[in-house]
Structure 1
Amino acid sequence: MAAAHATLRSRGIKVALTTGFDDDVAYPLLESLSWGVGSGTESTVDSVVATSDVSEGRPASCLIHRTMEKTGVHDVRKILAAGDTGVDVQAGRNAGRVQWVF
Structure 2
Amino acid sequence: MEAIKKVEIVTNSLELPKVLDILEKIGVSGYTVIEDVTGKGDRGRVFNDLETHTLTNGYIMSVCTQAQEQELVTEIEPILKKFGGVCIVSDAKWIAH
Q: Given the two structures, how large is their TM-score scaled by the length of structure 2?
A: 0.29
Structure with the bigger RCO (C-alpha within 8 Å, sep 6+) is: 2
Higher helix share: 1
Larger Rg: 2
| TM-score, normalised relative to structure 1 | 0.28
